[in-house]
Amino acid sequence: MSAAPRARPAFGRSLLRLFTVQGSWNYERMQGVGMGVAEEPLLRDLRVAGNGAAYRAAVARGAHFFNAHPYLCGLAVGAAARAEHEGVPPDQVERLRTALCGPLGSLGDRLVWAGWLPFTSGLALIAVALGLGLPAILGFLVVFNAGHVALRWWALRAGWTHGVRVAVALRQPLLQRATAVLGPAMAFVVGAALPLVAQYLGSGFLGWSRVALAGVAAFGFALLWWLRARLTGVRLGLVLLAVATLAGWLWP
Amino acid sequence: MSPALLSGLLAWGTLVGLDLVSVPQMMIARPLVAGPIAGAMLGDGWTGLTLGVLFELFQYEVLPVGAARYPEYGPATVAAVSAAHAAAGTLGLGLGALVGLITGMAGGLSLHAVRRLNARAVRRATAALEAGDARVLVRLHTAAILRDAARAAVVTALGLGLALLARTYLAGTISLRGVLLLDVAAVGSALAVGTAGTLRLVGRGPDLRWFAAGVVGGAAVAWLR
């Protein structure tokens, strides 16, 4: 068992380092090294308490394999650091980290990559299409990052508060409600953005080119849908642009 | 284009590339942000905003989960805006999209290369990491971030070089009809990718009804304007 943790000053440092958690992403330990770097400030108390061996062992464990959603990594960092301070056996700390990978990855993907991010980006697309211009982009950055920073902060604090019982934090009603609401909200907003963006981007096309645009968009969508396992958007775009260049040279 | 402006675009592209995965993931890497800022630097807000919207649609296809490989559209959008800037108005869209998509593909490949280099560095430092050496840990992490910054700079430089080539050798050789065809291909594929990407995100569950309601609402607003 170690000395009582003095987490408050270390919290800020850990949070700042969490913003770089994917900086050393690799196929060996994935986010592991970044996780170790973020957890290290929270482990310094172990060294101060004269327990250098416990500190080094905890730092080594903190840098082991880990992969989850980057915005929620703080939950595992806080929980593991708390467990180390409470003298939880090393294999249990390892099991805790392993057990958190899946739930934090899936929750973060649903909440952020498939929810908050496309939702706020869709709102920005609507605003740009309606003529708001640069303020819409600024608004997107402010609103998205308000949620982003709040989530990172909450995750680190919740991890530290609950330690090995961190699963309690994942059952937070607010988190569950946000996940449930963001799915339909994202679908509605991005759905509304698509026709408006089509109008915005298509406004420069007149006559035959407007008909061609509708045809290319429909043909491209059909191709992407039927060949979804093989055809990516970037390849479709490059093929269509190559065909257009060729047609332009043949039909001057 | 002046060297100062070129350096500014290179710096912006590097920051944007760094934001995608490494630091701080605040979404300046989104084309919708990267494009307008590049446009503002060039004094061409319209092109920046339009190409930002166009590449944002391409971005909807990307779900950056786990070890997934995907194109990098941030520095690509900066390069696209630089390519389209010379050809005024709508004429530059297709040219910008061509440069941007090639740069995006190169960016995706470079991400994979950097991840492999990071893995090699981690393997070399395994003994120190297992000994709990915090200095080695932080040094390894910092070196990886610097590696990613160098990668982003190289990708942006490649894109800006491609933009220069496209402006010099392609822009003058394509007929007006050819340029229009390029624009149709660029905007058409972006709309197709954006729609397909969103539908994959929405899935076949109850959210599909919300998506359909959104499309109807958006179409109504577009029609009324």
Please indicate whether, in this complex, the C-beta atoms of A55 and B132 are within 8 angstroms of each other: yes
Least confident of B8-22, B85-99, B151-165: B85-99
How many beta carbons lie within 10 A of that of residue A174, not counting itself?
8
% of chain A at pLDDT higher than 70: 96
**pLDDT of B87 strictly over 90:** no
CA B189 vs. chain centroid, Å, equals: 16
Give the residue-averaged pLDDT of A230-252.
89
Phi then psi for A22, rounded to 5 degrees?
-100, 5
Q: Quote the pLDDT of residue A74.
A: 96
Report the DSSP beta bridge partners of residue A26.
Answer: A30
CB A179 within 8 A of CB A104: no
Q: Quote the pLDDT of residue A4.
A: 47
End-to-end CA distance of chain B: 38
Extract the tokens encoding B53: 């919207």
Least confident of A52-56, A193-197, B5-9: A52-56
% of chain B at pLDDT higher than 70: 96
Extract the tokens encoding B166: 């496209």
Q: Quote the pLDDT of residue B170.
A: 77
Say which amino acid occupies B45: G
Give the residue-averaged pLDDT of B123-138.
96
**pLDDT of A6 strictly over 70:** no
Q: What is the CA radius of gyration of chain A?
A: 24
Helix (H, G, I), strand (E, B) or coil at A27: coil
Phi then psi for B215, rounded to 5 degrees?
-60, -45
Give the residue-averaged pLDDT of A2-9.
54
Say which amino acid occupies A41: P
The contacts of residue A208 (CB under 8 Å, 6+ apart) are: none
CB A231 within 8 A of CB A224: yes
Interface test with B, best of A30, A137, A223 (most B CBs within 10 A): A137
Phi-psi region of A87 (alpha: psi -120 to 50; beta: other; left: phi over 0): left
Q: Quote the pLDDT of residue B221.
A: 96
Q: Quote the pLDDT of residue B113.
A: 96
A contact residues 123-142, partner B, Cβ 8 Å cutoff: 124-126, 128-130, 133-134, 137, 140-141
A contact residues 158-177, partner B, Cβ 8 Å cutoff: none
Residue A3 banded pLDDT, cuts 50, 70, 90: very low
Question: CA A100 to CA A76: how far, in whole Å?
Answer: 7
Chain B residues with CB under 8 Å of A40 CB are 134, 137-138
Extract the tokens encoding A1: 């068992």
A103 contacts chain B (CB < 8 A): no
**Model confidence pLDDT, tens digit, residues B95-129:** 999 999 999 999 999 999 999 999 999 999 999 99
Question: CA A177 to CA A224: how far, in whole Å?
Answer: 33
Mean pLDDT over the full length of chain B: 92
Higher pLDDT, A10 or B15: B15
A225 contacts chain B (CB < 8 A): yes
Report the DSSP beta bridge partners of residue A66.
Answer: A30
The contacts of residue A55 (CB under 8 Å, 6+ apart) are: A43, A44, A46, A47, B132
Report the DSSP beta bridge partners of residue A30.
Answer: A26, A66
CB B190 within 8 A of CB A200: no
Please indicate whether, in this complex, the C-beta atoms of B211 and A188 are within 8 angstroms of each other: yes
Structure-derived torsion over alpha carbons of residues A203, A206, A211, A216, reported in degrees to the nearest 10: -50
Supply angle C-alpha A102, B138, A169, rounded to 5: 30
A contact residues 55-94, partner B, Cβ 8 Å cutoff: 55-60, 63, 67, 70-71
Give the residue-averaged pLDDT of B77-91.
81
Q: Quote the pLDDT of residue B69.
A: 82
Residue B64 banded pLDDT, cuts 50, 70, 90: confident
CB B159 within 8 A of CB B79: yes
Alpha-carbon distance A248 to nearest alpha carbon in chain B (angstroms): 4
Element containing residue B54 per DSSP (H, E): helix B45-59
Q: Quote the pLDDT of residue A172.
A: 86
Please indicate whether, in this complex, the C-beta atoms of A201 and B187 are within 8 angstroms of each other: yes
Give the residue-averaged pLDDT of A81-88.
93
B contact residues 155-194, partner A, Cβ 8 Å cutoff: 174-175, 177-194
This prediction's pTM: 0.93
Residue A1 banded pLDDT, cuts 50, 70, 90: very low
Mean pLDDT over the full length of chain A: 92
Widest CA span in chain B? 67
**Model confidence pLDDT, tens digit, residues A107-152:** 999 999 999 999 999 999 999 999 999 999 999 999 999 999 999 9
Structure-derived torsion over alpha carbons of residues A219, A223, A225, A230, reported in degrees to the nearest 10: -160
